[in-house]
Amino acid sequence: MTYNQIDLFFRWLHVIAGITWIGHLYFFNWVNAQMQPALDDAAKKAVNPQLMPRALWWFRWGAMVTLLAGLVLFALVYMYTPGVGFGPSALFLGEGGGMSSRAVVILFGMTLGIIMWFNVWFIIWPAQKKILSGQVPAEQLPATRARAALFSKINTILSGPMLFGMLGAPHLPDAGVVTLVVFLVAGAGAIHLAYWVSARVGKTV
């Protein structure tokens, strides 16, 4: 395979896995979180054992594949030059040998993505696994659910700025601190708006 074919494959894999991961994240926060309080205990016992293991499988493995494909893609684009070899590429290096604005923006997005991946694999999924398998004592269930829900919400809020970083890197040659602050505010604001909307839609067709 040529360099361009490998680049395209991992770019495609990164995007489709990311859609799977973030799509399920939004489902949990904007659909499932609104639906669960409306279910009685009998409905939860019938629905959740069928729904949650399947959704959580796609959720966590979508996160893992997104991370791994993204790291490979970062290496291909920013740490490799065809015909030269490994080392910071022209896209990574700015004037004077420092990092380019594009590298700063993509690293901003990557940092948020890695935090989100960590939350999935080491906080959200372990808590949900214990809940679904009945390993959590009844008196600890509210706290365990609240912890998983909190970090799921943190991931949802981080996803807005993270996606700005991922998508903005090739289009912001002069990005600086102000741009990153705008990413944080605009991205988090859009997610909060979606939370507001999620509480008000879907009750009627």
pLDDT tens profile 82-94 = 999 999 999 999 8
CA distance linking residue 81 with residue 126, whole number of Å: 40
What is the percentage of the chain residues whose pLDDT exceeds 70? Answer: 97
Residues 155 and 120 sit within 8 Å (Cβ to Cβ):
yes
Q: With 90 as the cut, is the pLDDT of residue 56 above it?
A: yes
pLDDT tens profile 72-123 = 999 999 999 999 999 999 999 988 878 998 898 899 999 999 999 999 999 9
Under the banding of pLDDT at 50, 70 and 90, the label for residue 16 is very high
Domain ranges of the chain: 3-198
The pLDDT of residue 173 is 64
Residues 6 or more apart whose CB falls under 8 angstroms from that of 14 comprise 66, 69, 70, 73
Q: With 80 as the cut, is the pLDDT of residue 127 above it?
A: yes
The pLDDT of residue 175 is 66
pLDDT tens profile 142-191 = 999 999 999 999 999 999 999 988 988 887 766 677 877 887 888 889 99
The pLDDT of residue 2 is 95
